[in-house]
A and B are shown apart, each in its own frame.
Chain A
Amino acid sequence: AQSVAQPEDQVNVAEGNPLTVKCTYSVSGNPYLFWYVQYPNRGLQFLLKYITGDNLVKGSYGFEAEFNKSQTSFHLKKPSALVSDSALYFCAVRDGYNNDMRFGAGTRLTVKP
């Protein structure tokens, strides 16, 4: 069965600094990986996904993620954080056989001015 781990409950960065939100996964077969963001009192919004191809995936709002097969990781990154990036971030994984996904516990990102 597929699973995801987000090792950090909370990440704090200063505005303008680069940010990284970590994610590791476990699947049978090829992984299909996703990042979502949740703003207060809102549903989840899709940011980006990795299916195949380039290991660096670019998504919405200037975010990108790097797929690393040997480390089974899919870390979310942004070169310069904004205060408005403060939110809850979820990593998710599915394998090639199922229609459902598994989500991590979430990482709360706080960007301070």
Chain B
Amino acid sequence: DVKVTQSSRYLVKRTGEKVFLECVQDMDHENMFWYRQDPGLGLRLIYFSYDVKMKEKGDIPEGYSVSREKKERFSLILESASTNQTSMYLCASSLRTSGRSYNEQFFGPGTRLTVL
């Protein structure tokens, strides 16, 4: 089974702090994704990466950055946390799309971040 792990289940930070959320997958997936989940808004894509050192902006990249130095690890960085970044953060991974292979994403358990 694919396993996607996230470094923390719950995290509390103060406004202005730099926050790192880590995600690791063990199935050699090329693609990795960061979403935030808010009630009534569903999942919104922040950033994704389809290869090491590659990144693409999603729908809501403002206030976030990412790092992918190794294939199995994808980090989300909040440069200066703000209260409106309080949310559930979900990491996912998938095999690369090739030909007609459209692969589902596998999700980690999520990190509930509270910014005070």
Contact = CB atoms under 8 A, between A and B. Distances in A.
Contact of B108 (A36, A43, A94): A43
B40 to A, nearest CB: 6
Size class of the B contact interface (CB-based, 8 Å)? 20 to 34
A100 interface: yes
Most buried by A among B48, B50, B58, B104: B104
A100 B48 contact: yes
Contacts of A44: 43, 90, 92, 105, 107
Contacts of A36: 107
Contacts of A9: 40
B33 A100 contact: yes
B12 interface: no
Interface string A76-113: 00000000000000100010100111111110000000
A90 B43 contact: yes
A9 B43 CA distance: 14
Size class of the A contact interface (CB-based, 8 Å)? 20 to 34
A90 B44 CA distance: 12
Main secondary structure of the interface of A (DSSP, over half): loop
Contact of A105 (B42, B48, B92, B106): B42
A43 B107 contact: yes
Contacts, number: 57
Nearest to B94: A99
A32 B102 contact: yes
Contacts of B97: 99
Interface of B: 4, 31, 33, 35, 40-45, 48, 50, 56, 58, 90, 92, 94, 96-97, 100, 102, 104-110
28 contacts: A6-B42, A9-B40, A32-B102, A36-B107, A41-B109, A41-B110, A42-B110, A43-B90, A43-B109, A44-B92, A44-B107, A46-B104, A46-B105, A49-B102, A51-B100, A51-B102, A52-B100, A94-B102, A96-B102, A99-B31, A99-B50, A100-B45, A100-B56, A101-B105, A102-B45, A103-B44, A105-B40, A105-B42
Interface of A: 6, 9, 32, 34, 36, 41-46, 49, 51-52, 90, 94, 96, 99-106
